[in-house]
Structure 1
Amino acid sequence: MNNQRSFFLNVDWLTVLLYLALCTIGWFNIHAAVYDENHQSIFDMDTEYGKQFIFIVSALVIGIVILLLESRFLSALAPFIYIVTVLLLLLVLVAGHNVGGNQAWIDMGGGFRLQPSEFAKFATCLLLARYLSATNVKVTDPKSFLIAGGIILLPMVLIKLQPDDGSTLVFCSLIFVLYREGLSAYFLVIIGLLATLFISSLLFNAWYIIIVMIVVLALLLFMFGRNRKFATGLIIGFVVAVGFVFAVKPLYQHVLKPHQRVRIDEVLGLSKDLRGVGYNQNQSKIAIGSGRVWGKGYLQGTQTKYSFVPAQSTDFIFCTVGEEWGFAGSVVVLGLYLFLLLRIIVIAERQRAPFSRIYGYGVASIIFCHVVINIAMAIGYMPVIGIPLPFISYGGSSLWSFTTLLFILLKLDSSRMGLSTDRY
């Protein structure tokens, strides 16, 4: 009896409430996004909103089961879970169901499909946490860094082969986990600079960029040139950057597929095709903008009601929030996500065991990446790459995956006082 009481007291119920709030918001917005006059009940099982209710209930069951598990099993089973997920990703490539050009689904029958790439996220976080928490493993050591990178890279490659660019990109967010565990901030700076140079090279003449880089290099050498090691590094970095700038456009033309280039061009303003590739984003922006401050009201969105935005219950669910609940509703949703992410970081930092802390930062990284990319895509600041909004977009695989991801952390947190600080 005391153990049960302690269990309920130790669970972070504030995080559970945030989770339930986002799931409820998602359910009602899915109802609005695909509302059918012939199926008005939100519990109608012939509709997406009826199915989403089943997904939410089953997700809660998954969450409760996870909370009842023994915490040490989560670390012990990490390699097994990872291997099973990798095998499922391989199975998808051979016998997967193609949806929207991505061979990413396993048909389960009865109209239900399973997307292994969603489950690969928490499987990767678990194995990465287990490896990095092991004795004598330091992310600053080249061997440890390469093994950790391999754990992340393997599912990325398999998911890219589907091809699912959105899910592939999400795994890159785990660089923040490595940074928290000691990876030099220079890696993040270099990634940021390369991204800036990539975009700049598409927008401007290469020689203009080189001139700016020369000016910046001269200023840095003037201020810090006495440090020979730093100066040498700057010069080497400058040479590499120059080569990168001149290589961007050839690589852009010959490596990326035509539809990928068109989407990037649309976002950068290099082309406008509002009836073609830019149609989805343009309609999404119209829907969000039309909601103004307070929105048009529940089930009153014209863009939503007349299905102007494709994939509105999945990838573009945020435009339903913007149209029917307005700027105020959008701020509430963003505020819930911000609060949830801050809460996850607080939970991660208070862990006694390295495994739990590392896993917590994996959860925060994955959810943060999904939220930023999905909303940026909906408002036209990123190309359309097909990625769900956590706990809100329609789909069982997505909801079950995010629920598992979050509730594993809640279980680890609820058991933290009973875990040793050496590994688990």
Structure 2
Amino acid sequence: MRESDIHINRVDWVTVLLYFALVMIGWFNIYAAVYDGQAEKSIFDFSINSGMQLVWIFTAIALITVIMVADHRLFENLSIIIYLIFIGILIVTPFFGKEVNGQTLSIGFGSFRIQPGEFAKFATALALAKIMERPTFDLSKTKNQLVAFGVLMLPVLLILLQPDTGTAMVYFSFLIMFYREGLPQRYYILGLGFIALSLLSLGIKENIYIVFGITALVIFLILLGKKSWQRIVAFSLIGLGAIAYSYSIDFVVSKLPEHQQNRIMVLFNPDLDPLGVGWNVTQSKIAIGSGGLWGKGYLQGTQTKFDFVPEQHTDFIFCTLGEEFGWIGSLVVILLFLAILYRLVVMAERQKTRFSRIYGYSVISILLFHFMINIAMTIGLFPVVGIPLPFFSYGGSSLWSFTVLLFIFIKLDSSRAQQLGRIN
């Protein structure tokens, strides 16, 4: 195959190097997370997680090779088909998947299993890019909004049936891409308002305080001379709606499984159940805090070594980094994530087609959401929802899905000139 077909010279190698830097640092931290203080098992031992992660890394490299060799038009032409395939897999997963802890997240044969919810992210990104690429597709129009949200919400509803709330939440990160493509700001203002009111409703159990705040606002408007009855009535109705919404939030939360209710309440009161549902977050914060500025040293983490933090090789991998490499090591990894996100923004803005730009911002949205929520989760700023750290956490489905998601965009970026017919 000719070099011009693969566009080696146009590959964004900075992004590729950042990807491999994160993957390799993650691999070493996975070994640290399962290291028990004895050097009997090496990092290459296939009987432990670090050895298996190395297998996933090599298979991820094979996926990268296939993506980079493939024709860039393949991803656009097959985008809807890929989306429908994963929708079909999500439909059958609850019936034929493997159930673990009340959730049916994976499907496959024998020991080979994948989590369709992870792979459906890039499939949804491709489908949205294909649907929204038309010049006449305007997100300020209600009809187009319904189409875009329909494509987005279908996998969300199917994933909730598994049930997997954490993965389903990730799909709302596409709202970042929608904002770039022209979804009106009023939706975001309204959404942020509902989020703020939800947090107030959960954090302040006495709704009388909300009533007091709204009443004070109305009085303040009157004292300012804003005597328009329409405005006062409008604010009063908004206040009544806010109170009704706060009660509805309490009702919805009360219907959730007890462990999910506790996870939400621990966010507002970390000491609510320190030996139960609050154990993960408490121990994670202890591990990160004990690392200090420079950390305890590689393989020297006591919280990690003695398994105080559950799931420390997957969802809580960041606490292993914080304990052994301290504030400096954590900062380096955060800067690497910010660097790759910055490079992706630069790449998205230089795309020559709307399809590539929309897909690029979808990649940015998903990675940013995972990065922010995972770290916020480990330091107690967000409920524990089971969201892995991209390229870092242990798991084949996680690494493969993020790799495919990223390198499809890298391939599209390397072919951007050809997309306009500039290269024959």
Provide the rounded CA distance (Å) in 2 between the counterparts of 1:230 and 1:83.
Answer: 48
Aligned to 1:101: 102
Instruction: Label 1:54 to 1:193 Cα distance change in 2 as closer, same or farther (>3 A).
Output: same
Provide the rounded CA distance (Å) in 2 between the counterparts of 1:92 and 1:118.
Answer: 13
Aligned-partner residue type, residue 397 of structure 1: S
Q: Which deviates more from structure 2 when the two are superposed, residues 211-220 or residues 81-90?
A: 211-220
Provide the rounded CA distance (Å) in 1 between the counterparts of 2:334 and 2:48.
Answer: 27
TM-superposed deviation, 1:181: 0.9
TM-superposed deviation, 1:250: 2.4
What percentage of aligned pairs have identical amino acids?
45
Q: How many residues align?
A: 419
Given that residues 291 and 327 in structure 1 are in contact (C-alpha distance below 8 angstroms), is that contact kept between their aligned partners in structure 2? yes
Provide the rounded CA distance (Å) in 2 between the counterparts of 1:133 and 1:235.
Answer: 43
Structure 1 position 299 matched with structure 2 position 288: no
What is the TM-score normalised by the length of structure 1? 0.93
What is the TM-score normalised by the length of structure 2? 0.93
Instruction: Label 1:181 to 1:3 Cα distance change in 2 as closer, same or farther (>3 A).
Output: same
Q: Which deviates more from structure 2 when the two are superposed, residues 23-32 or residues 337-346?
A: 337-346
Aligned-partner residue type, residue 128 of structure 2: L
**1:340-368 CA distances to partner (integer Å, 9 max, x unpaired)?**
11111111111111111111111011111
Given that residues 281 and 378 in structure 2 are in contact (C-alpha distance below 8 angstroms), is that contact kept between their aligned partners in structure 1? yes
Given that residues 265 and 271 in structure 1 are in contact (C-alpha distance below 8 angstroms), is that contact kept between their aligned partners in structure 2? no
TM-superposed deviation, 1:201: 1.4
Aligned to 2:149: 149
**1:15-58 CA distances to partner (integer Å, 9 max, x unpaired)?**
00110010001100001001253653211111110111111111
TM-superposed deviation, 1:5: 8.8
Instruction: Label 1:21 to 1:222 Cα distance change in 2 as closer, same or farther (>3 A).
Output: farther
TM-superposed deviation, 1:329: 0.6
Aligned-partner residue type, residue 376 of structure 1: A
TM-superposed deviation, 1:100: 3.3
Instruction: Label 1:359 to 1:230 Cα distance change in 2 as closer, same or farther (>3 A).
Output: farther
Aligned to 2:60: 59
Given that residues 6 and 68 in structure 2 are in contact (C-alpha distance below 8 angstroms), is that contact kept between their aligned partners in structure 1? no
Q: How do 1:7-406 residues align onto structure 2 when only pairs under 5 Å count?
A: 7-35=7-35, 37=38, 39-109=40-110, 111-204=111-204, 205-216=206-217, 237-254=238-255, 256-269=256-269, 272-406=272-406
Given that residues 270 and 278 in structure 2 are in contact (C-alpha distance below 8 angstroms), is that contact kept between their aligned partners in structure 1? no
Provide the rounded CA distance (Å) in 2 between the counterparts of 1:238 and 1:391.
Answer: 45
Aligned-partner residue type, residue 69 of structure 1: A
Instruction: Label 1:224 to 1:394 Cα distance change in 2 as closer, same or farther (>3 A).
Output: farther
Given that residues 218 and 232 in structure 2 are in contact (C-alpha distance below 8 angstroms), is that contact kept between their aligned partners in structure 1? no
Task: Report the secondary structure of 1:313's partner residue.
Answer: coil
Task: Report the secondary structure of 2:420's partner residue.
Answer: coil
Instruction: Label 1:217 to 1:321 Cα distance change in 2 as closer, same or farther (>3 A).
Output: farther
Given that residues 125 and 362 in structure 2 are in contact (C-alpha distance below 8 angstroms), is that contact kept between their aligned partners in structure 1? yes
Aligned-partner residue type, residue 201 of structure 2: S
Any gaps of 5 or more consecutive residues in structure 1? Answer: none
**1:366-418 CA distances to partner (integer Å, 9 max, x unpaired)?**
11111111111111111111111100000000000000000011011111112
TM-superposed deviation, 1:286: 1.0
CA RMSD of superposed structures (Å): 2.4
Given that residues 348 and 357 in structure 2 are in contact (C-alpha distance below 8 angstroms), is that contact kept between their aligned partners in structure 1? yes
Aligned-partner residue type, residue 248 of structure 2: A
**1:265-311 CA distances to partner (integer Å, 9 max, x unpaired)?**
11111761111111111111111111111011111111111111111
**1:172-208 CA distances to partner (integer Å, 9 max, x unpaired)?**
1111111111111121111111111111112222222
Provide the rounded CA distance (Å) in 1 between the counterparts of 2:21 and 2:218.
Answer: 50
Task: Report the secondary structure of 2:348's partner residue.
Answer: helix
Provide the rounded CA distance (Å) in 2 between the counterparts of 1:233 and 1:344.
Answer: 43
Provide the rounded CA distance (Å) in 2 between the counterparts of 1:340 and 1:333.
Answer: 11
Aligned-partner residue type, residue 84 of structure 1: I
